[in-house]
Structures are given as structure tokens and as C-alpha cells.
Chain A
Amino acid sequence: MIKMTKVLGKKTLKPVLLLMAAMLVAAGCSSGGGSTKEVEVSLEGRYTVDPETPAWQLDKKSETTDLTWYVNADWWNTDFGKDVVTKKIKEDLNINIKFITGDDTKLNTFFAGGDMPDLLTIFDSNSPVVQKAATWALPLNELAEKYDPYFNKVAAADTLNWFQLKDGKTYGYPNYSNTQADYDSGNIPAKTAFVIRKDVYEALGSPDFGTPEAFQKTMNEIKSKFPDMIPFGFNAIGEGTGSLGDALQDFIGVPLETEDGKFYNRNLDEDYLTWLRTLNAVYRDGAISDDSFADDGTGFEEKVKSGKYATMLLDGTPQQGGNLQIFMSANPGKEYMAIDGPQSTVGHQPTLNQSGITGWMINYITKNCKDPAKAIQIFTYLLSEEGQKLMNYGVEGVTYKSNPDGTVELLPEVKDLQLNNADKFKKDYRMGEFMFFGHDRHKALSKDAFPESIKQMQEWGKGKLKPHFILENINPDQGTPEARGQTAINTNWNTTLVSMIRAKDEATFDSVLAEHKAFLDKNNWSKIVEVRSEKMKANKEKLGIK
């Protein structure tokens, strides 16, 4: 024993520690390796595939299928089978879903730990996880062919093409993916608007905001007549540019690409810069509050709720719908309304954006899925007309009725609950919330789908939408030097924009702008433009745009 003590003396400490470290590393690596083995399910005794019938109607599997579904969002409501919507899904498909939520940290541990859930929903379609989907997810086209050909009838071909990876297969399917056909149908409402409080608008005698001069003049009038209000507001700037970046550019119709189809730096467009100069002048007049640059999303929302802004350039009207409604209900006759607002100084028409073909959340069936047949049935079910109506309006006869003209309407008692007991409505019905495969197209079916407060704004936006598909997912790939340059440029542009609007005179405005231009050159801008132009070209090919 005494010898042992000697052995473990100072000299040997190092090797022992090294050995321990090596053991730890080895242990860490060995269990991390992918344990992703594909499950083959036999359909024998269950059903034979039929391209004309959704498989969930054929499936005779008697025992309930238990599936885990990971949603990469902490706020997701994990209940299943208690409310009208999920109860129906549970009964129709004979499934039991256990939802797990988390953030990127949890997602990483899932991938590292190798114990993947059966289904997985994430939000960022530009992330490495999506690029590597082939290693951990099952291809939807193969699943459809094997277990449920009806899937191809309900899934949009454009969307499937859009998400095709280099191997020619599609692994994920998003929600709110709007195709050209959706835009053409006119069923997608606009989400951007220049709004003004009705009482202010009337008190000023319906003034004009179209030209920079008129805009500045009217803002000054608001400032003198309504000293308690902030004359002009915009979405919280936070990490992005609020609604003064892309949203304003779309509003005045800055072109999406150069004439020869290359990437166009819309931030430096002359027409747009003219408007930024105007905003700077308005700021110097004291009609833009410094708070607007410091407010976070919550701060902005609370100002909307209390009607603090006289006018706003509002991006994401549905997201503000609740807040606008609160103000509207409490102040009848003063509600916000959309008007034409700032317009191009060179005669462009507005080209408002909506969620594009990339959509929002993307859903995957992983290689660990216990019953891929059941999983693809869920996709088909939720994407079908029936599933879409269920998610948005519940069960026919129980929560809604169909009108002869094809629209739907909530039953009076359900509507009443929606208006007066939002908590209970959320808990018992959960309509419009289970939106893994949600779609604007079906929101257009009912006038109950959007709050009263934004309907006029949506009406105003009709005919002003233009798809921005070619600009989607064109950022340089993560990890490349261009991607790093891009990140730096974005941050720099963000502060540049704020500094320009807050500039104390025109000379400062120009010098800040010049600094940004120099920053672009220093950060490899020409290379980034090249990468983006290349990706735009690929986008056009995918979508068949000339």
C-alpha cells in the first residue's frame, strides 16, 4: 500500500491524467456515432396502397401508434388529444403524439445523442440541419410512393421542388409555403401597410403622404396638433431593420434584381435613399421618437396597444392584429386604417412581400421513426382539405358551418367564446394554432380567420403583392468567408440605417452612407453579390422562371 502512494506521487500524475482524459474522449465519441437505422414497416394486414384514397382511411392497424414529435420552439403547446382539433386528429388517425419542445441547444443534444424523435419540426430552412437532412430524415417522395401516394395530390409540387436537395429527394415539408399559384389566386392577404389613426386622419382632413415633401409637412402638422402622440412609428428595430428596411423598399417598389437578373443592392437604391433622407428630416423635426430605436418588440407592441403612434409603417399586420384589436375595441372610431402612404419618387408600384415558398416551420420524418407509414399519413391528412379546415375551423357541425358559396363560418357560441373568453377558446378549441401545415389559402375561406382590426388593411393590400421567391435562401452558405462578411455587413447596415435617420444634418447622413459603402468593399461585397446572383439563378431554374 505504501508503494501505491509512491506510485501515485507527483511524477506519475501527468500520465494518469492524460490517460483519464483519453478515456473520457474515447467514451464521448463511441456512443455519439449515429444510431440511425431505418425502420421498414410491413403493410401486410394493414392496407394496400391506393393512389386515389388517402392511406389513413385504409389503414386497419388496430393498436394506437405512439409517436414523439419534437418542435424546436419553447412556446409550442404540447397538449395532444384534449381539445377539439387534436382530439379529432387522434381519433381519425388512431395515433397518440407526445410533443417535446426545446430550442437549438436541445436540438443539438438530440442529434448528438442519437435518440431522434419520430417527427421533427424546425424553423430555419437555411440552417445546416436542413442542408444535411439526407443523413437523418426520410425522403418524402419515397415514403409517399411506398405508403401513401395520395400525398402527392395534397402536397404542392412547387414546394416539393423548392425543397429538393442535391440528391433529387425532398425531405421536409413547410407550412405557409405560398406558390405562384397561391399568389395568382388572390387569396393571400398583404401583411404590410402604412396605417394612420382614423381620428387623426379625419382631423387633418385626409392629408397626403405620397411625396417626401407632403410626408414631412403632414408629420409636422400631426406633431403640432397631437403633441401627446408620436407622429411616426415602425416595427422595433432590434436585430434587424424593423419595417424601415425591406418593408419600406417593398412599399416603394424598389426592384428585386438588376436588369440582367443579377443581385441588386436594394439598400443603396436612390429612390429608397431619398425616402431615408426624408425620414432623417422628419426625425430632425422631432416627429420620430428616439424611443422607437430603443424599443424591443414588446415595447413596440405596447405602444400599438395604447394607440401611441399617429401613423405607422407596419410589417406583419396579422401579428399585430391582437394589439390593434385591443386598441380598436377600447377606442371606437379611432382605429388604425391603411392608406397609400409613401410612394416611389420614380414611379415604381408597390411590390409587397408575403411569406414566400420557403414558408415558416419545416416538418420532417426522421430515420428513427417507429412507423413511417403512419407518419406520412399524418402529413397527408393535415395537408388535405379536410385537415386544413380542421386546423383552422374545427369540426363541421360542431364548431363551424359551411355556406353555399364555399366559405365557412364559426357557430355563434364558438364565435362568442372566441371574442369573450380567449383562454377557454385556446384551451378547448385550439383553432388556428395547430399549424404545422397551415396555409393562407384556407385562412381566406372565412371572415372569422383574421381579427376585425386588420381586415381593412388586408383589403387595401389587394393587388400589391409580388412574390420574392428569387430572393429566398440566397445567403452564402454558413461557415464560408462570404457568410461571415454577410453577417458583418448586416450588422453594419443595421447601425448605418439608424445613424442615417438620426443624423444631425445632411452632411452627417452622407458621411455615414459613405462609410457603409467603404465597409461593403472591405468585406468582400463583390464576392457575396456573385454568390447571391448564382443562387438566384438556381432559384429561377427550380421555379421555372425565365
Chain B
Amino acid sequence: MNRKVIREDLDSRIFDAVNKVLLVCFMVIILVPLWNVIISSLSSGRALAEGGFIFWSKEFSLENYRAVFNDSTIGQSFVVSVAKTFIGVITHVFFCAMIGYGLSKRYIRGRKLYVAMGVITMFFSGGMIPTYLLIKSLGLLNSFWVYIIPALFSYYDVVILMNFFRNVPDSLEESAKIDGAGDWHIFLKIFIPLSMPAMATIALFNGVGQWNDFMTTKLYITDQALYPLQMKLYEIIVQSQTQSMQNIGGSVVIETTTKGVQLATIVITTLPIVAMYPILQRYFISGMMLGAVKE
């Protein structure tokens, strides 16, 4: 009997060890390219031009970052980006949750019609030019609200929330109603706190989307003051690519390369969103726990 315990112990230890090795390999596969990007972005253009894989900076240089931050308006773009992501995520999640809550109630009138309408939007969209015309006639061109209002609704997110809300036991709602709570109260005090994992998921999806989006700016915004970071960086990259095209006389000794600027840009744009993840992570963990205790 004793031997058996030891054997099981050994088995599980081997299993653990193999698991650990596999996970470390997996981690290396993910981390090495990331590391390469970070280190390359901190290398001088000359070192990058020589090519080859870089593990450690051959010639440490902050030139790439200087080239990106050289633009005086980048601070403002950062503010626009943060504002549009922050406001966008909060309004989007709240709006979708309201609709999802409504649609999760089987007694709602015309529910099937609404659901059918929503499904159609998942397959067909107006197309670029009709959408542009719509945005234009709504007076949203060159307005900060073009980042927020058209992004309020996503049927996909509504479906996720709707299904989540359906899983909340009816009895909770009934007992609250007996205690005299109204729809708003039930929605805000019972459903939202209970659905934090779903909300966090959608917030993260939408946040990443908002943060990375530059198509909206490209199409609807011409006012530089409203450019988010992504658009600004897109411009910087395009300009660094075409610098040689506009042949300015004399020697233009540039310490950076297009690749270096691109890498620095990747780091700058990815860091804030990566930093957000640990903050949201606890909701994902608590989400699993919540699932575990369900009947």
C-alpha cells in the first residue's frame, strides 16, 4: 500500500514535470519574439540594418522612441486615445447590457422581431459609403462622438450578455420584485454585479478594439486635434517610410530605420493595453468561481 502511494506520487510528479517543461517551452515561444521586438526597438538603426536575430541590444539607442515622441502633438493624441477608449468602453458595456437585459426577458413584446433584426446586422452591414453618408448626415464628421456613438451597439456583445443574464435565477428577480424593487434597481443592483465576468470580457474586447481602431479616424476625422495615438503613429510610420522618397538635397543622416520606428510603435501601443489585463484578470478568475458553484 505504501509502495502504491509512492508510485502514484512519482507518477504525478512526472506528470507535473512534463507539464512544467511543456508550459515553459510554450512560454518561451511566446516571450522570445516579444523580447526581440522590445530589444530591437532599443537598438540603433545601424545595428538593425545588419539584420540577424537580436537577443541583446548591439548598440543601445533611444533614437527610435525619440523619433516617435518627437511629434509635439503625440501627448494630445494619447489623451484622445485614452478618452475614447475609456468613455467608449463604459458606454458600450452599459448600453449593450441594457439591451441584453431587456432581450433576456421572455415576456418582452416583439422580442423575436428585435432578435431577428439584430441577427441580420450580424450578417449584413450598410457598407462603407452608405455608412459614411449616414455619419455625415448625423453631423458626426470631425466630432469626438464619432468614436462613441456608432460604437455603442454590437449585437454580438448583446447576445453574450443576454445569455449570461438568462442564467441568473429567476427567483432572485422575483424576490427583489416582492421587496418592491423596480426594473432599474434589479438591473443595476442585481444583474450587473452578478455578471461582472461577462462585463469584463466585453470591456476587454471592446477596449482592445477601441484602442487599436484607426479606421474610424481615417474615414471620418480630418481634424488633427482629434487624432488618436494609433492614427498618429500610423502617420509617423508612413512618413518614415517615405522620407527617402522626398529626396531632400544633402545628406540626411537618419539614426533610425523604418523598422526601428515600427518596432518602437508596436511597443508603445501594446504596453498600455497589456497593462490593463492584470487589472481585469481578477474578474475572469472570479468568473470561473461563479460558474463552479452554480446548480
Contacts and interface: CB of A to CB of B under 8 A. Distances in A.
Interface of A: 1, 4-5, 8-10, 13, 16-17, 20, 24, 27-28, 31-32, 74-75, 77-78, 100, 102-103, 105-106, 108-109, 112-113, 115, 297-298, 301-303, 305-306, 318-323, 325-326, 328-329, 415, 418-420, 422-423, 425-426, 431-433, 435, 446, 448-453
B219 A106 contact: yes
Contacts of A321: 244, 247
A322 B244 contact: yes
Provide the main secondary structure of the chain B interface. Answer: helix
B70 A113 contact: no
Contacts of A297: 241
B129 interface: yes
A322 B243 contact: yes
A123 to B, nearest CB: 12
B128 interface: yes
Interface string B236-257: 0011011111111111111001
Contact of A419 (B129, B239, B251): B251
B193 interface: no
Given A422-B248, A425-B248, A450-B247, A326 B253 contact: yes
Contacts of A102: 218
A17 B70 CA distance: 53
A31 B251 contact: no
6 contacts: A10-B112, A108-B129, A115-B136, A422-B254, A423-B70, A449-B249
B222 interface: yes
Contacts of B46: 306
Given A31-B136, A446-B249, 4 more contacts: A105-B219, A321-B247, A433-B246, A452-B250
B278 interface: no
A420 B113 CA distance: 68
A13 B252 CA distance: 66
Contacts of B224: 78
Q: Choose among B50, B241, B246, B249 the residue with the greatest number of A CB atoms under 10 Å from its CB.
A: B249
Nearest to B257: A302
A117 to B, nearest CB: 9
Provide the main secondary structure of the chain A interface. Answer: helix
B133 interface: yes
B244 A109 contact: no
A185 B259 CA distance: 41
A301 B243 CA distance: 12
B109 interface: yes
B188 interface: no
A103 B238 CA distance: 12
A302 B247 contact: no
Given A302-B49, A418-B249, A451-B247, A32 B133 contact: yes
Interface size class of B (residues with CB under 8 A): 35 or more
Contacts of B245: 75, 319
Contacts of B257: 298, 302, 305
A31 B245 CA distance: 39
B251 A75 contact: no
B116 to A, nearest CB: 6
Contacts of B49: 302-303, 305-306
B104 to A, nearest CB: 18
Contact of B250 (A100, A112, A418): A418
Contacts of A303: 49
A158 to B, nearest CB: 25
A517 B1 CA distance: 81
Contact of B248 (A32, A323, A433): A433
A112 B248 contact: no
Contact of B244 (A31, A301, A415, A446): A301
A102 B235 CA distance: 10
A111 to B, nearest CB: 9
Nearest to A434: B246
Contact of B109 (A4, A31, A422): A4
Contacts of A435: 246
Contacts of A32: 129, 133
B120 interface: yes
Q: Choose among A28, A31, A75, A78 the residue with the greatest number of B CB atoms under 10 Å from its CB.
A: A75
A451 B250 contact: yes
Contact of B136 (A1, A5, A10, A113): A113
B46 to A, nearest CB: 7
Interface string B162-199: 00000000000000000000000000000000000000
Q: Choose among A32, A74, A100, A423 the residue with the greatest number of B CB atoms under 10 Å from its CB.
A: A74
B130 interface: yes
